[in-house]
Structure 1
């Protein structure tokens, strides 16, 4: 899974390691792990996460829909759930944890 981290703020943001649950039509497919990283002020960075599918509990109809979405639409709508730890970085000092706004477009 590839997503873009955009920081439009005037300060840098340090993101901690994050774990997400990846879901397809309400069914958990697996877990995604994103390593921690630093995002400079006014910057954009592509971040890659690998989805580990340990056991997908797909019914045959759900599996058919997943295959149909990938072949016909060339994309699959996924829901990504999880928490992200972030800190503001000013002059090499980290703030306490802050709340961040995430927008996933997959």
Structure 2
């Protein structure tokens, strides 16, 4: 009399085959991950030691005040909400092109968020010196009375200086021969000092509730704005 069913041998073979297939799948997955890690490391070393990357340079071309709205409450505190178009000039002296994804940077004054900078997707070709980037700056319910009071209380050397901070991050792609070689994440922390007394405005059109097409021009190498930025890179 048989103690085990006849199909028990087939069941054991099926278990052995499944275990072998699982080990084989894990082996190929491990090989794939190892190759991917090696490729990323080699690409990073290639960019650092062969391409010798330099930090892209950004400068301000123009600041266009599209619209604003003033609001005063019962305590005579003045608030302003405004929309600016900020045009930047981007320079890239690297041997590779750099593509940037769209992102949002936050604007802070005295530790409080006061606005948002919307940066569109754009591309810097290798060895380029004149790429214009048009960004949108949104300021909401900024306490203008507080800012002017703080500026007036500064010492003579800092008079008319408004200090702000910009925080955010953006994804950048390095391009070689029309191929995306590496993607990195760049964290930006900028301290901005703006000399309000040196901003000259032109092309003013006054209307009943505000000003439109109010253009502020910034001369190259002027002292209107100073910027000190710290960058952090993530792969």
Asked if 1:4 corresponds to 2:89, the answer is: yes
Instruction: Measure the CA separation in 2 of the matches of 1:79 and 1:43.
Output: 28
Identify unmatched segments of 5+ residues in structure 2.
1-85, 191-225, 228-235
Calculate the TM-score normalised by the size of structure 1. 0.71
Q: Give RMSD over aligned pairs.
A: 3.1
Instruction: Measure the CA separation in 2 of the matches of 1:39 and 1:13.
Output: 5
Instruction: Compare the two structures and name the one with the higher helix fraction.
Output: 2
Instruction: Measure the CA separation in 2 of the matches of 1:40 and 1:67.
Output: 44
Q: Which protein shows a greater Rg?
A: 2
Once the two structures are superposed, residues 15-66 of structure 1 have per-residue CA deviations (whole angstroms, 9 ceiling, x without a partner) of 010100011232211111010101011223342322112333x384335336
My pick for the range that moved more, 1-10 or 93-102, is: 93-102
Instruction: Measure the CA separation in 1 of the matches of 2:125 and 2:91.
Output: 9
Say which of 158, 163, 175 aligns to 1:89.
Answer: 175
Calculate the TM-score normalised by the size of structure 2. 0.36
Identify unmatched segments of 5+ residues in structure 1.
none
Counterpart for residue 50 of structure 1? 136
- The secondary structure found in structure 2 opposite 1:53 is strand
